[in-house]
Structure 1
């Protein structure tokens, strides 16, 4: 029998502050990647407002320090820290993991790039897959023991409705042989975010670690599209009138589902699922930009991705 979908009192218009109201995260430690701006910064702010110690894992240390000062001032929480992290650089990921000490209760894999021109890492890997998935995979698996030590730890992967545009290209995930397509690369990286959550649920349940993925929604004012190739962007990226059935959110609304999965007691113990608008999503129906594609929840594909990711990250450092 199918497991009933998770529902909450919150919805598309709920904000991160709404979701975390009344939640006490005192004594909890959180890491949020890509937390200098957009929904990452708002997620960090909400977690800090509930009393968590929050580490902003960021590429730009100066921007991270500015964000930490602003979040501490806004929330009255002095425990907002900054640590360098370049997800496309395995040495940086390993350095972050090596430097971490003690338990980790919440890991929000938020950072991402979208539809970039063709870029490659030092290994020759396609940059979107390397940043959006492989970097977060290495970070999360590297922090496994810290997550397990915390007890009831949560991993939150920020995916996208864009995952419905394509599966992981297992025959050539780094576009070594196929012509590069910015949207195919983005779609597979976002599908990988969901499959990774499924993999966490399958492997780490006994360690008390849950993993879930989410679509934050269509958000008009974040830096994500800055990384995109302007020629690859559609003529109208957003739909202010909601004519497609998906309205544009502001940043506090866009961070709400991340914060729900990171902090709310309403989803305690929930794992291996995909959420949008603070609810577990239903199946994707072609023509409607909502829901989760069946292939993104496929346990066999989650296992295949986990193995592929381990193999890639085991390669000698360049």
Structure 2
């Protein structure tokens, strides 16, 4: 188990302090709002060249100007395979850190042109296509992949027999849950397949943060438990830790919360609120099955 000096209240800047990143090239998806901005800010602040991979490049340019430093902007829509392919073809040279940060949460029922459920497509498949497309660059950089998951993964395993809700009644939260489980499983299998290339991947729970991710939900801020809420600077801390900490050198296939490795649990009752990782989310057989399933979907697209 990886234990650090950091915890719930640590910020991204505190986690990155003292770490030098000049010459390191980083991509952060969904980096025009929320914790993506603060992740990019902390990494750029330590000297990294950071590319903000965003749908809205105007918003991305404003973010880049706000952050300063060596920050670039590139268009990326994770639900559009042509956009992902264009991004991959436009990348040149090594990549040292890929932060799979972009995501959607508990959206109304919606499907991509390929018939893929929107949350699974955005949160998992888009990032899967991006990472596999960038594999040569990741290999050249002996990279770390940081996958932003959620404690919401405990809402559902990946239901392989009906990922797209063809037979089940659609539920926004279980759909979110299986997409977040897929994030963890991707980190497990990417590490197994690519560790010999020097590539490792870890997943994380950033914490409970009120950002644009939840802005469309019917949430009364006055009803939120402020004792469990984080600022965006605190929410980005675990992502930055996984991207930079020497303790994570050569370590992959794990799940972290509050800047520390989380215990594996067999029921939600075993874990404190917002902590722990379900055993099915780090199961190697599930991870291998998801990788093959994802490859098959992309091959048919």
Alignment of 1:43 onto 2:34: no
Evaluate the alpha carbon distance shift between residue 30 and residue 137 of structure 1 in structure 2; reply closer, same or farther with a 3 A threshold.
same
CA distance in 1, matches of 2:94, 2:224: 40
Instruction: Provide, for residues 266-294 of structure 1, a one-character-per-residue CA deviation record: whole Å limited to 9, x for no partner.
Output: 21111100000000001235233210000
> In terms of mean alpha carbon deviation, does 287-296 or 11-20 score higher?
287-296
Equivalent pairs, count: 297
CA distance in 2, matches of 1:92, 1:31: 15
Residue 224 of structure 2 corresponds to 238
Residue 142 of structure 1 corresponds to 133
Greater helix fraction, Structure 1 or Structure 2: 2
Deviation at 1:227, TM superposition (A): 4.4
Residue 298 of structure 2 corresponds to 313
Alignment of 1:85 onto 2:58: no
Structure 1: gaps spanning 5 or more residues: none
Contact 1:214–1:275 (8 Å) recurs in 2: yes
Residue 54 of structure 1 corresponds to 50
Deviation at 1:133, TM superposition (A): 0.3
Q: What is the aligned counterpart of 1:171 among 152, 161, 178?
A: 161
Deviation at 1:35, TM superposition (A): 0.2
Q: What is the aligned counterpart of 2:213 among 203, 208, 224?
A: 224
Evaluate the alpha carbon distance shift between residue 283 and residue 45 of structure 1 in structure 2; reply closer, same or farther with a 3 A threshold.
same
Alignment of 1:294 onto 2:279: yes
Structure 2: gaps spanning 5 or more residues: none
Contact 1:157–1:212 (8 Å) recurs in 2: yes
Normalised to the residue count of structure 2, the TM-score between the two structures is 0.96
Question: Considering only aligned residues, what root-mean-square deviation do their CA atoms show, in Å?
Answer: 1.4
Q: How do 1:1-318 and structure 2 match up within 5 A?
A: 5-72=1-68, 77=69, 79-151=70-142, 153-220=143-210, 222-228=211-217, 230=218, 238-240=224-226, 242=227, 247-284=228-265, 285-287=267-269, 288-289=272-273, 290-316=275-301
Normalised to the residue count of structure 1, the TM-score between the two structures is 0.91
Deviation at 1:265, TM superposition (A): 1.4
